[in-house]
Amino acid sequence: MKHIIKIKDKPHKINLNVIVKESLVILVMAVTIAVAINELRQASLPLFGFDSTKIAGIIRTNIPKITLTEAYNLYRQHKVVFVDARDPFSFEEGHIKGAINMYPDEVAFRLAQLKAMLSAESIVVTYCDGLQCPLSQETAQALQSHGVPVVKVLADGWNLWINAGYPVTKGQI
């Protein structure tokens, strides 16, 4: 026995004007309701007042910087653990040999791994790519707030390190 289902229905003619008009009405209503209820409720959010430092539990402090030469000297003496604060994809493409990858958000649950790599004499140096990159500073702040004693930032670290021809490697760690 054969069941043949014929789909006779054709799609509606889509009237763009109707879609735009209805969408606008819904959007305006949603924004109005949202703002009104947000103002009235106790657990309201300040509309333009999101503070990422507060959310991340990071207290903004100035992390001391380290120069490339100082960092390399410590590296040769095995007295530094590099923390690559860039995204994991960039890390896999290439990073300072021996570095571990840690985004600011990941500090809390990757801390044990980092501490296992630290000796009594070693310090932690964070780096990312470019002078404007905030990730090395943010990761350093997060590490400091989680009790890592000596943390420094190598500003524009990846760029400086690779241009100096110092040891790098690829892949995950």
Partner 1 sequence: MKLRNFPGPVTPAVALVCRLTVAAVFLYAGCEKIIAPQEFATAIYNYRLLPDWAINVLAVTLPYLEVLLAVCLLVSIYVRGASFIAALLFLVFAIALTINLVRGLDISCGCFGGLTGSISWFYLVRDVALMAISVFALFFDRGWSYFFTR
Q: What contacts 127, CB < 8 A, 6 or more positions away?
A: 82, 83, 84, 85, 96, 99, 136, 153, 154, 157, 158, 161
Residues 6+ apart with CB under 8 A from 25: none
**Does 37 engage in binding with partner 1 (CB under 8 A)?**
yes
Q: Which one of 98-106, 115-123, 124-132, 160-168 is the stretch in contact with partner 1 (CB under 8 A)?
A: 98-106
* Cα 46–chain centre separation: 23
In the bound complex, what is the minimum distance in angstroms from residue 31's beta carbon to partner 1? 5
| Cβ atoms of 130 and 85 closer than 8 Å | no
The interface with partner 1 within residues 51-80 (CB under 8 A) comprises 51-52, 55
164 binds partner 1 (CB under 8 A): no
- Which DSSP string corresponds to 134-145? -HHHHHHHHHHH
133 catalytic residue (yes or no): no
- Three-state DSSP state, 155: coil
Site for partner 1 contains 7 (CB under 8 A): yes
Q: Is 112 in the site for partner 1 (CB under 8 A)?
A: no
* Residue numbers at the binding site for partner 1 (CB under 8 A): 5, 7-9, 11-12, 14-15, 18-27, 29-31, 33-35, 37-38, 43-52, 55, 87-89, 92, 103, 105-106
Catalytic residues: 128
